[in-house]
Structure 1
């Protein structure tokens, strides 16, 4: 055994403790860096002396030869990462849905004194006031003004909903660009990591960057992450490259990142190239290469039964709100979505309201003794689509309101008869049965063939159902979003308890490693004194 064995042991100790101090300093420097995972030096004793061999020296036993930094490893628990990404995925979905419904509630503005229900209520009240004094010109003018207010409110609701829907469509386009950017960055980090690991190193900071990107991606879409070794002389604890797939609701997976290659998500134009514009309704999402060339893989958003198949996440939540379509078993295209459904219901209500009001109005007589004219006009009388936007007040004056039901024997208008005004004010609660309107207090019904988009119930009950459904959906989205947030924060707290930097702990480690470093330095001093005695203080006899 060499006389200088003690120096070598102490030297190794100095280098290793110094590495530990440098790593501790790196942790302290990144204590507030988002996504950073604390690192530690794995101390490993070096091979003992002598090695087992036939020509080994005959000494009582093996002597330790010191310590070395086996590896510098980040402290991370992959199980908590998987949990966090699952919860973050749910949070992204419910957050997107809750945000869309909250904006819809702001537009509908119910129940308040400024919503459609209140405006319609004022319109019905003006008709009741007119029935008391049907010859009063002022009361008639109020009916026209309140009718115009109802029209304006339908226009406002329709325009506002369509504007928000368009904004959501833009957000979907931005979301897809964000997803594609994340995929590109992850593939780039995979390439860097694959170039480092085969040399026996652990690129911990690159691992952290990649995991932060994967966390962000998991909020947008549901993904599955598989680790593949880099090969070469990579360590067993090396994390390798990430292969990421998009997971649909039916369990089918589509490749997004494979090593240093990545695919993109988007919409195809007529030439099969990636289109930056979100279509009016989304039936599928196309897979593209990194160069923007369409692959033979189109991911349907929903199956023929209307069941959504696309991966859960923020992107799906936005598309559900915006507009999506599927082809049913009969080959028909069916459009769905929170905003399309609300717009459709609003159109149905405006269409039925206008036609029912016109039908009752035409049964009465105006101040001139003439049959009532249509009170409202529709841009497309044959279809309820776009009725809320296309609704307008007919070109009438106050005398044209058919508030009465009869004329006198001489042919003069019985101005005091306001029965039709009462009938008009009761339209809100008149029962529609298979499209036929039943006048209250009588056995008379008014057929509305093709003119009623609401087949059963009343206008009031239909609108209450619209608002009630909106409220229930919003409440569920908020509740589920809050539950997902609590679970996400709980998992994140556990993850931070494992991976985050504790300054108290790092200061304790610093003192520990510093003492070890000082002790190793003292050991070198001790060996130096021994060697000085051997070299300079021995062999002096006879001089």
Structure 2
């Protein structure tokens, strides 16, 4: 036979459980605007029925329910959506950073415009055409000199501006490195807090939220994989355990562990390649070559923008690094362009005769038009950094009569044959960089055009990644975010259940009162 007071206990359990559900609802409402918060729910579980199974169990028609209890307070979250979100967040971090890098280059190159290199070169060539009309005119010679200064200064400005932004990107790499190490350290600390709570049978939902928020941030910086290891003790079956985070490549192959069982592992980017480029990076005490890493994320895009060693080769026993990167490539193209142009222009200029030579004011050979500010004379093969060093030769700056306008075959003051030949340098095919038989205009158009195409591609993929990430985030939020309307509905539902349980206690009190005070001798 069941206990007389069994109904009181059943109702009491109902009240306490519904009260716990109301507290959880209040917690959800309070955190409706908290970033990273996941709504929680109380999992109601029926308590053990009466009577239990045993040799001495009373004979009843069937088992009777004994009420309800809160089995657990659990987050409403889908781990698959977390994996999807972090994958898209990683791609967005990569393409967004590349798009920003190209945007800065486009601002520097400023093509097409009235102040870009193409316009400056055209003005220089037009001044040569004007000088060819009247080679004796000192005003025309002065314009040629000034336009030449404009060309060299434009090369200088572009190269120096690119180097400045490249240095800024290096600083961003170091900031990203510190941010990654800070996030992994914070995740490790949250792991430790979770490990202190779970063995007691509790679910530290708010700590789970904090850890997931940190992991989401980390996913935009590097490509990661998250595994979970159960804690020991009396941990719940649905407890998440410790998060083990590994840095992986695009194929999912582990590169190195960032957060382990008991500690976080710092990373370090090494600027140990040619011209300060990135050649290796460290994960803890393990050194990896950056080439062929095949990962994504903001850090990868920053390094690809800055410049990294993509290949090495041995030349006469000396190891030479091949540096690849958005800014390093553009600087290399500018250096090749400035160097080849200066060499070819100087070759043609030195093939002519200057007024000073014709007037026998000097017996020196024809001077070059352009020079290297670091070495005065342009050294063959010394291309690296030349765009920053190109200048008009001092002899031209000192005297307009050092501009070689006449040809050797007709060395007269009015002869402009060499000026016409100089004007043709822009249209003459030479080897610019890795482009065979390309003239100066075409070479520069290819550089700017290629940059524009790559920039558009980065912007397009950044936009696509943003749309995909938002779609996943919308699905994740529809499941995990707090809906105030839904919480209000739950509040009313739990309140009614609480009131009903309380009414059951009142009813039990009335029944017991009847038994105690209304039956037997008292009730006569």
Q: Per the shorter chain, which TM-score range? A: over 0.9
CA drift of 1:236 comes to 1.0
Residue 245 of structure 1 contacts residue 254 of structure 1 at CA under 8 Å; is this kept in 2?
A: yes
- In 2, distance between residues paired with 1:240 and 1:373? 76
Aligned to 1:391: 390
CA drift of 1:373 comes to 2.1
Residue 199 of structure 2 contacts residue 232 of structure 2 at CA under 8 Å; is this kept in 1?
A: yes
1:88–1:279 Cα change, 3 Å:
farther
Instruction: Choose from 409, 423, 426 the match for 2:424.
Output: 426
Correspondences of 1:268-307 after superposition (within 5 Å): 280-288=276-284, 295=285, 297-302=286-291
**Length-normalised TM-score, structure 2:** 0.92
Instruction: Choose from 346, 365, 368 the match for 2:334.
Output: 346
Aligned to 1:539: 520
Aligned to 1:484: 465
Unaligned runs of 5+ in 2: 359-364
Instruction: Choose from 476, 488, 491 the match for 1:507.
Output: 488
Correspondences of 1:13-28 after superposition (within 5 Å): 13-28=14-29
Unaligned runs of 5+ in 1: 271-277, 289-294, 303-307, 436-451
- In 2, distance between residues paired with 1:503 and 1:518? 22
CA drift of 1:310 comes to 4.9
1:19-39 deviation digits (Å, cap 9, x = unpaired): 110000000011011110000
The answer to whether residue 91 in structure 2 is matched with residue 90 in structure 1 is yes
The answer to whether residue 169 in structure 2 is matched with residue 168 in structure 1 is yes
Larger helix fraction of residues: 2
Residue 12 of structure 2 contacts residue 501 of structure 2 at CA under 8 Å; is this kept in 1?
A: yes
- In 1, distance between residues paired with 2:482 and 2:407? 83
Residue 225 of structure 2 contacts residue 247 of structure 2 at CA under 8 Å; is this kept in 1?
A: yes
1:2–1:59 Cα change, 3 Å:
same
Residue 93 of structure 2 contacts residue 297 of structure 2 at CA under 8 Å; is this kept in 1?
A: yes
3-state DSSP class of the match of 1:114? coil
1:186-215 deviation digits (Å, cap 9, x = unpaired): 111111111111111100000000001111
Correspondences of 1:156-305 after superposition (within 5 Å): 156-249=157-250, 251-267=253-269, 280-288=276-284, 295=285, 297-302=286-291
**Bigger Cα displacement from structure 2, 181-190 vs 391-400:** 391-400
CA drift of 1:454 comes to 6.7
Aligned to 1:315: 299
CA drift of 1:50 comes to 0.5
CA drift of 1:539 comes to 1.9
Aligned to 1:361: 349
1:279–1:519 Cα change, 3 Å:
farther
Instruction: Choose from 477, 481, 492 the match for 1:496.
Output: 477
1:13-68 deviation digits (Å, cap 9, x = unpaired): 00000011000000001101111000000000101000111211122211110000
3-state DSSP class of the match of 1:42? strand
- In 2, distance between residues paired with 1:4 and 1:259? 50
1:234–1:425 Cα change, 3 Å:
same
RMSD: 2.1
1:74-114 deviation digits (Å, cap 9, x = unpaired): 00000000000111111111111111111111111111111
CA drift of 1:268 comes to 6.3
The answer to whether residue 369 in structure 2 is matched with residue 375 in structure 1 is yes
The answer to whether residue 500 in structure 2 is matched with residue 519 in structure 1 is yes
CA drift of 1:285 comes to 0.6
3-state DSSP class of the match of 1:51? coil
3-state DSSP class of the match of 1:60? coil
- In 2, distance between residues paired with 1:57 and 1:156? 97
CA drift of 1:334 comes to 1.7
- In 1, distance between residues paired with 2:149 and 2:324? 31
CA drift of 1:222 comes to 0.8
The answer to whether residue 404 in structure 2 is matched with residue 402 in structure 1 is yes
Residue 271 of structure 2 contacts residue 277 of structure 2 at CA under 8 Å; is this kept in 1?
A: no
**Length-normalised TM-score, structure 1:** 0.89
3-state DSSP class of the match of 1:70? strand
Aligned to 1:416: 414
- In 2, distance between residues paired with 1:21 and 1:453? 72
- In 2, distance between residues paired with 1:209 and 1:23? 18
3-state DSSP class of the match of 1:13? helix
- In 2, distance between residues paired with 1:130 and 1:467? 30
**Bigger Cα displacement from structure 2, 278-287 vs 210-219:** 278-287
Residue 9 of structure 1 contacts residue 65 of structure 1 at CA under 8 Å; is this kept in 2?
A: yes
Aligned to 1:443: none
Aligned to 2:362: none
**Bigger Cα displacement from structure 2, 243-252 vs 137-146:** 243-252
CA drift of 1:345 comes to 0.8
Aligned to 1:328: 312
3-state DSSP class of the match of 2:266? strand
3-state DSSP class of the match of 1:261? coil
CA drift of 1:365 comes to 2.1
